[in-house]
Amino acid sequence: MKHFVFFLVIGFTFYSFSQAVLTPELLWKLNRVSGGTVSPDGNYLLYSQRSFDMAANKGNTDLFVIDLKNNQSKQITATPFSEMEAQWGKNNTIWFASAEKNGLQIWKMKHDGSEKIQCSNFTDIEFEGFKLSPDESMVLTIEALKLKPTITDKYADLPKANARVEDDLMYRHWDHFDDYKRRHLFLHRINTNGTSEIIQALGTDILHGEMYDGIVPPFGGSDQFCFSNDSKKVLYTSKKLVGKEFAQSTNTAVYEYSIASKETVNLTEAYKGYDNNPAFSTSGELAWLSMARDGFEADKNDIILRNLTGIDKNLTKDLDLSVTDFAWHPSGKMIYFLAATKGTVHIFEMDVASGKIRQVTTGQHDYVSISLFGDKVYSGRQSMVAPTDLYAISIKKNKVEQLTEANASILKNLQLPKVEERWMETTDGKQMLVWMVFPPNFDPSKKYPTLLYCQGGPQSALSQFFSYRWNLALMASKGYIVVAPNRRGLPGFGQEWNDAISKDWGGQAMQDYLTAIDRASEEPYVDPSKLGAVGASYGGYSVYMLAGIHENRFKTFVSHCGLFNLESWYGTTEELFFANWDHGGPYWLEENKENYAKFSPHNYVANWNTPILVIHGGMDFRVPEGEGMQAFQAAQLKGIKSKYLYFPTESHWVQSPQNGLVWQREFFEWLDNDLKP
């Protein structure tokens, strides 16, 4: 008896005059839309579009503006330099950063791209991001300061020495070694004379000389700081810890800096987990995102409100979903936010006074950004079969209008897969959402090779994402049915489901995977003799774990940046709070030994008997390359057909265009050889 039911099915018609399908080469030709912020008067929408030159092995980002009165889009920059940090100023001016002249500088122009002028003349500043003050009198910049000596600074007579001396942890982070610099925040006064010397140092820095960063590294940016409405204060997010303490804690805080007094106050000292993304309403109330538990990077993310009297309220305390982003409505009465829910990401509305919450958007897709004006929410939207475009959502009329078609010329000629939502009963009697992605022109009378897709994280939403590497539509377009289960640990199904993965990596989640592939294999169009399992990060760990327990279900495996030996991984990863929370702490503690032994894939290698492709990046410090090397070596020594695809300069991801194509070609060559002989 089958333990699933059919739900909503959306996709594309099976029949078309064109038989073209998505390929890796076409995937890299797609324009990547991001942003989508509405102008202060509500008449224009600003966004970015990134494209790639495969021959040059690089990408470029340009700025576009949509005239919302006639829905006309115009490209307003066209330089060989990427424009970044674009933001609205007064009178519909646009401020942005570009390296068009004399290194990275700040520029401004009119909304139509005219009257562009250079507004800074930085010469000795490593400037990495900025935000304009509401009164346009200042900018706040992220600047890198060298605060530690290198080995050649210490030994000036040895200029060709290549060595590092470390005396604490966090000497490398995610994809880079410590560069002996810290990212601090600086204020710069803006004059009004319009000359190229317009930016001048204010004379006051916020965190000068301190060994921690003024933003949360390595991915923190301008979303982590803001000005007060009167431009008199700066709020920023920082984790003022170093070394071992930094590695074992997620306790960031929101700090308030007074420009006049130069004093700094910790606004969230009572909060012990991640506190991020402060934002003021028009009336001056403060909201930010907050996680309650120190050390748990995937804890429930709530919106905390601090009213004008200084009283805090958790606005989403009773909502069993985790907020990923939010924005104030210009009225100051409503907050709109994004949250994963049942395999999708949607926009929610909250009445601040009453606390009433309602879901604004629906459908089988993800909304990825929020900008507001009047009755409209402007947002990027994507799905497993459609890259991001911008949409306008009428809040009252519940009407959705597409504003961009950045890839229409490519997509109109393609037969795209279809996606089905199914619910399956797990081994412990719960209901699990499983996405099924079917090839273009799917014929249910035929049998297809099938891939089990294992999501990473382990608490990253398996929603309607459109990836440029783990692209499920591309896998289906290559002739595979893809089975993608929302196994234990994935957000969008309540905090209990999300938390269940911690300290149980190889337990119920593995049973959820096997349930999904077993139920799918009962379908007449799935060839049970041609099954593969693929995944990255925790998904790569899942592949290694399944290789030892799958009891001959699968014919081939692909693991990218997977954790193979949990003990060696604990000794080489950097953000130890992650390992401490999900595995209980160090492997040498008596209370953790059983967990490490039971759930480390290397302890099951004796059962390995199936071909495996191992992929790893040399600059991956979250899951260091030794994990992939150990797995490949074990397979080789056991005489198992295996291959090691290694990218010396890539990290936990593959970001170079040509390396990306190598990844796709090797990935499908491996699968095709094993599942399509």
Whether 652 is a known active-site residue: answer: yes
Is residue 572 within 8 Å of 493, Cβ to Cβ? no
Q: Residue 540 corresponds to which amino acid?
A: G
Strand segments (E) across 331-447: 334-341, 344-351, 357-359, 366-367, 371-373, 376-383, 386-394, 399-402, 418-425, 431-438
Q: Parallel, antiparallel, or unpaired for β 181-190 and 302-306?
A: unpaired
Structure token digits, residue 84: 């970044």
Whether 620 is a known active-site residue: answer: yes
Is residue 142 within 8 Å of 222, Cβ to Cβ? yes
User: Which one of the listed residues 133, 550, 652, 674 is annotated catalytic?
Assistant: 652
Is residue 76 within 8 Å of 113, Cβ to Cβ? yes
Q: Strand, helix or coil at 560?
A: strand
Structure token digits, residue 534: 């693929």
H/E segment holding residue 65: strand 58-67
- The sign of the CA dihedral 100, 104, 110, 115 is negative
The 8-class DSSP code of residue 20 comes to B
DSSP conformation letters of 236-299? EEE----HHHHHT----EEEEEETTT--EEETTTT--S-EEEEEE-TTS-EEEEE-SSTT-TTS
User: Which one of the listed residues 463, 620, 651, 674 is annotated catalytic?
Assistant: 620
Q: Residue 497 corresponds to which amino acid?
A: W
CA atoms within 13 A on the CB side of 386: 22
CA atoms within 13 A on the CB side of 500: 20
Is residue 490 within 8 Å of 455, Cβ to Cβ? yes
Separation CA 640–CA 547 (nearest Å): 12
User: Which one of the listed residues 463, 537, 642, 651 is annotated catalytic?
Assistant: 537
Helix pair 538-549, 508-521: axis angle to 10 deg: 70
Using alpha carbons, select from 61, 71, 64 the residue that is nearest to residue 32: 61
- Output the CA–CA distances (angstroms, integers) from residue 385 to 177, 388, 464, 472, 502, in the order listed: 37, 10, 8, 8, 31
First to last CA, the chain: 32
The torsion defined by the Cα of 103, 106, 112 and 113, in degrees rounded to 10, comes to -20
Whether 537 is a known active-site residue: answer: yes
Residue with tokens 């984790």: 239
Active centre residues (catalytic): 537, 620, 652
